Amino acid sequence: MSFGRLERTPGAQPFSEINVTPLVDVMLVLVVIFIITAPLLASSIRLELPRSDAAQPNEVPQFVTLVVDKRGQAFLNDQPVSADQLAQSLRQSAARNPDIEVQLSADQAVPYGRIVEVMGIAQKAGLNRIGFVADAAAEPAPAARP
C-alpha cells in the first residue's frame, strides 16, 4: 500500500451566462394571457336600458329601388308603374320614413331627360336621398400596337 497524495479532480466551473429558457417560457405564457383577455377588455359597455312601448324597432325598408329600362318605363321595387303611380308610391314611402333612400338604376340608352324627370318625381315626393346604381367598370383592353 502506498500512501501518496490524493489528487482531487477540479469541480465543475460556474456558468457566467444567464439561462433565458425560463424567462422565455414565462413571457410566452403572459403573451397568451394578453391575447385571450385583450378582446374582453375592448368589449362594449354593458348597460341595462329602460323599457318603453315607444321604442319599437323600425321595420320600414331603408331604401326603394327605382329602375328605368331602355324604353323609359319606370319600375318601383320591380313593379311597373306610371308617373302618377310612381309619385303616389314615393309619397307614401316618404310619409313612412322621410330618410328612405331611392336607389336609381337606369339603362345607358335612357335619355338624360327621362332620368331627370324620374328624379324630380322622387324629390317632389319628399325623398332627397338618391343613390345611383352602376356596374363596376371593366378593365380596359390593352391597346393594339401597329
Could you tell me the domains of the chain? 63-132 (3.30.420.270)
- pTM of the entire predicted model: 0.52
Whole-number percent of the chain with pLDDT over 90: 18
Tell whether the model's pLDDT for residue 123 goes beyond 80. Answer: yes
**Among 119, 122, 2, 102, CA closest to 61:** 102
Residue 15: pLDDT band by 50, 70, 90 thresholds? Answer: confident
Q: What average pLDDT does this structure show over 47-69?
A: 68
**Which cell is 18 given?**
444567464
Distance (Å, whole) CA 93 – CA 101: 10
